Copies of this chain bind each other. A is one copy, B any other.
Amino acid sequence: MTSQDAHTPATAPATSSPSPTTENGKSVGWHKAYLPDPRGNHPEMRVPVRVVHLTNGESVTLYDTSGPYTDPAVETDVRRGLVPLRENWITARGDTEEYAGRPVRPEDDGVKHTTPRGGLRNLDAVFPGRSRRPLRGRPGFAVTQLAYARRGEITPEMEFVAVRENMAPEVVREEIAAGRAVLPANINHPESEPMIIGKRFLVKVNANIGNSAVTSSIEEEVEKMTWATRWGADTVMDLSTGRNIHTTREWVLRNSPVPIGTVPLYQALEKVDGKAEELTWEIYKDTVVEQAEQGVDYMTVHAGVRLAYVPLTANRKTGIVSRGGSIMAAWCLAHHKESFLYEHFEELCEILAAYDITYSLGDGLRPGSIADANDRAQFAELETLGELNRIAKRHDVQTMIEGPGHVPMHKIKENIDLQQEICEEAPFYTLGPLTTDIAPAYDHITSGIGAAMIGWWGTAMLCYVTPKEHLGLPNREDVKTGVITYKIAAHAADLAKGHPGAQDWDDALSDARFEFRWEDQFNLALDPDTAREFHDETLPAEPAKTAHFCSMCGPKFCSMKISRDISERFGGEGGGGADGAAGASDEEIEAGMLQKSKEFAAAGNRVYLPLAE
């Protein structure tokens, strides 16, 4: 076995820390490294990877979403934010301009009607060392990755994701140009490490965070974001609905190495004290600009919830379960008017285009129960999302489409097939889907099943579901469980899609397992900590980490040992092994085996020796 590289090119030399990363002074068996731009166009480019060091001297290189936080050479400070690594690329294009920006107002943090001490002061004091003014596209310039791709330009961001995905930059450009992939990268979020969402690439995972009126603090949300990306979240959505929405988002954005998504409607509703009928296009637009200047990379917009579709949900078992969808439905009913998001969609496109914000066209009428899956309301909205997708593309706005929800297994494929057809292969971004309603507290699993399947069939990004779904707000442990479950679903989908190199990771882990390299198994695991902990529960002693047996069978009774013996006796020779045998006749196999059996008997007929007892 030679050096294995899952998802990243074997040829690119890595600049890296000299030794494995340590935690609490203990080696963790892997270290953060950086791949350069293989074409040398951007000498400053450093594409992050996780290099796992195996005990047999080999190494495995894995995709890494964790940002500078896992690099011991980088000192991070949550109050200063991350280094704006994309800043020079953005300014070098010469198509953006700084401007004064919208003044931040107390109501941005939900303090309109009350005056808690220090509401405004907090906003100013968040990042004292930061003086960057917002950027926007200069008049007459299209500054989105979609516009560049369509013009044939390969941006540094595209080169970056090409390295990450082990793809040619031209493939990245083509997929973006065709609208089959998005590269969410607001020009006001220069701290983000470019990533791509599209069916030709690795399946991505989003983690939701966000405080609500009931609980949570700003620090907790930032911590949840870094925690989620540490375990593999590719993007994070900040769905805060309570106080301090603006400030929480500023903290999250300035410290986030991954694209941040939001639902601007939530904040807009806070500004009108939760009264949906008091929402206006102006308040909504102002909120979008506020968030655009902060650097939000993609926005969920429920512009597909049209007036005429609202009654289609009336006899559903669980009505409208999307918050955004229900707010817009309430507004439409209150005014008996077409949705202001639908009516002003072209204007919204112009705003998003000026910052290169990606649309995530929300499925406000997604089913909230098995009974409501694939109904008329859901698919009526999907038709409208297809219409809006075409409009967005005319404005050079990158666009993905959100999908359900609660869907039994046999109705899942229809969702992706219809979406791909109606939305011209725009990336699908689905919540689950949950394949049954009967398991509250385990909806990471009910939905992980559906997520893996729909990922296999072409969904580009999976929105995680935590064990607390339907029950409460996820804590740190729930966020981790949700991310790990969805990384499993995404990787299972990558395998099933036959993504180049995806299986290298499985193979490296299986090799380690077969060769009883326990430490390598742990370090290659999606969650090394828990794998190690579980092993230690049964066999805590340090020698057990190198023992040639495991706790399932005990030392006397080990199938792996028997197999290794068979492999040593028959493997690696023509006619003996699976590959060789495929071309050998039964007689040849029989003759070879008889010979082997004699050698086996001569060696004492022992297939394994008890190590203990």
**Cβ-defined contact, B563 with A319, below 8 A:** yes
CB distance from A600 to the nearest CB of B (A): 5
Q: Is A126 an interface residue (CB 8 A)?
A: no
CA–CA, A370 to B505, complex, Å? 10
CB distance from A417 to the nearest CB of B (A): 17
Choose among A377, A446, A527, A566 the residue with the greatest number of B CB atoms under 10 Å from its CB: A566
Q: Which of A145-153, A292-300, A322-330, A396-404 is near enough to bind chain B?
A: A322-330
**Cβ-defined contact, B506 with A308, below 8 A:** no
**Cβ-defined contact, A314 with B551, below 8 A:** no
Residues A377 and B578 in contact in the complex (CB < 8 Å), given A409-B495, A557-B241: yes
**Cβ-defined contact, B503 with A371, below 8 A:** yes
Interface string of A421-439 (1 = CB under 8 A from B): 0000000000000011111
Q: Is A552 an interface residue (CB 8 A)?
A: yes
Q: Which of A77-85, A207-215, A247-255 is near enough to bind chain B?
A: A207-215
Q: Is A475 an interface residue (CB 8 A)?
A: yes
| A window 512-552: CB within 8 A of B | 513-514, 521-522, 524-527, 530-531, 533-535, 537-539, 550-552
Q: Is A19 an interface residue (CB 8 A)?
A: no
What residues on B are CB-neighbors of A266 within 8 Å? 557
Minimal Cβ-Cβ distance residue in B for A613: B213
**Cβ-defined contact, A559 with B322, below 8 A:** yes
**Cβ-defined contact, A409 with B525, below 8 A:** no
Q: What secondary structure prevails in chain A residues at the interface with B?
A: helix
**Cβ-defined contact, A311 with B511, below 8 A:** no
**Cβ-defined contact, B436 with A572, below 8 A:** no
Minimal Cβ-Cβ distance residue in B for A481: B442
What residues on B are CB-neighbors of A214 within 8 Å? 538-539, 551, 554
Residues A563 and B320 in contact in the complex (CB < 8 Å), given A314-B569, A506-B438, A553-B241: yes
**Cβ-defined contact, A493 with B409, below 8 A:** yes
Q: Is A562 an interface residue (CB 8 A)?
A: yes
CA–CA, A522 to B336, complex, Å? 38
**Cβ-defined contact, A215 with B538, below 8 A:** yes
Interface size class of A (residues with CB under 8 A): 35 or more
Choose among A276, A318, A376, A531 the residue with the greatest number of B CB atoms under 10 Å from its CB: A318
Choose among A537, A580, A581 the residue with the greatest number of B CB atoms under 10 Å from its CB: A581
What residues on B are CB-neighbors of A276 within 8 Å? 562, 607
Contact of A329 among B311, B566, B613 (CB under 8 A): B566
Q: Is A67 an interface residue (CB 8 A)?
A: no
Q: Is A172 an interface residue (CB 8 A)?
A: no
**Cβ-defined contact, A485 with B442, below 8 A:** yes
Contact of A242 among B313, B456, B554 (CB under 8 A): B554
CA–CA, A593 to B306, complex, Å? 12
Minimal Cβ-Cβ distance residue in B for A491: B436
CB distance from A341 to the nearest CB of B (A): 16
What residues on B are CB-neighbors of A496 within 8 Å? 408-410, 435
Q: Which of A128-136, A177-185, A466-474 is near enough to bind chain B?
A: A466-474
Contact of A578 among B212, B314, B571 (CB under 8 A): B314
Interface string of A499-510 (1 = CB under 8 A from B): 000010111011
**Cβ-defined contact, A531 with B409, below 8 A:** no
Q: Which of A26-34, A86-94, A155-163, A447-455 is near enough to bind chain B?
A: A447-455
Q: Is A579 an interface residue (CB 8 A)?
A: yes
Minimal Cβ-Cβ distance residue in B for A533: B441
Residues A566 and B317 in contact in the complex (CB < 8 Å), given A308-B593, A333-B596, A593-B311: no
Contact of A471 among B333, B538, B556 (CB under 8 A): B538
CA–CA, A445 to B269, complex, Å? 38
Residues A449 and B446 in contact in the complex (CB < 8 Å), given A323-B553, A376-B582, A531-B441: no
CB distance from A604 to the nearest CB of B (A): 10
What residues on B are CB-neighbors of A566 within 8 Å? 310-311, 313-314, 319-320, 329, 333
Interface string of A454-484 (1 = CB under 8 A from B): 0010000000000110111101000000001
What residues on B are CB-neighbors of A554 within 8 Å? 212-214, 241-242
Q: Is A555 an interface residue (CB 8 A)?
A: yes
Q: Is A111 an interface residue (CB 8 A)?
A: no
Q: Which of A68-76, A117-125, A584-592 is near enough to bind chain B?
A: A584-592
Q: Is A334 an interface residue (CB 8 A)?
A: yes
**Cβ-defined contact, A579 with B321, below 8 A:** no
Q: Is A339 an interface residue (CB 8 A)?
A: no
What residues on B are CB-neighbors of A467 within 8 Å? 534
CB distance from A188 to the nearest CB of B (A): 27
**Cβ-defined contact, A334 with B488, below 8 A:** no
Contact of A308 among B370, B553, B590 (CB under 8 A): B590
Q: A320-B559, A327-B559, A440-B521 known; 8 other A-B pairs, CB under 8 Å?
A: A214-B538, A274-B557, A314-B571, A320-B563, A329-B562, A336-B597, A440-B509, A468-B534
Q: Which 5 A-B pairs have the closest CB atoms?
A: A319-B563, A315-B577, A472-B538, A213-B554, A314-B570
| Residues of A near any B CB (own CB < 8 A) | 212-215, 241-242, 266, 269, 274, 276-277, 307-308, 310-323, 325-327, 329-330, 333-336, 368-371, 375-377, 406, 408-410, 435-442, 444-446, 448-449, 452-453, 456, 467-468, 470-473, 475, 484-485, 487-489, 491-493, 495-498, 503, 505-507, 509-511, 513-514, 521-522, 524-527, 530-531, 533-535, 537-539, 550-557, 559-560, 562-567, 569-572, 576-582, 586, 589-590, 592-594, 596-598, 600-601, 605, 607-608, 610, 613
13 A-B pairs with CB atoms under 8 Å apart are: A274-B557, A310-B593, A311-B570, A315-B576, A317-B514, A369-B506, A370-B510, A409-B493, A440-B509, A440-B522, A449-B489, A471-B531, A471-B550
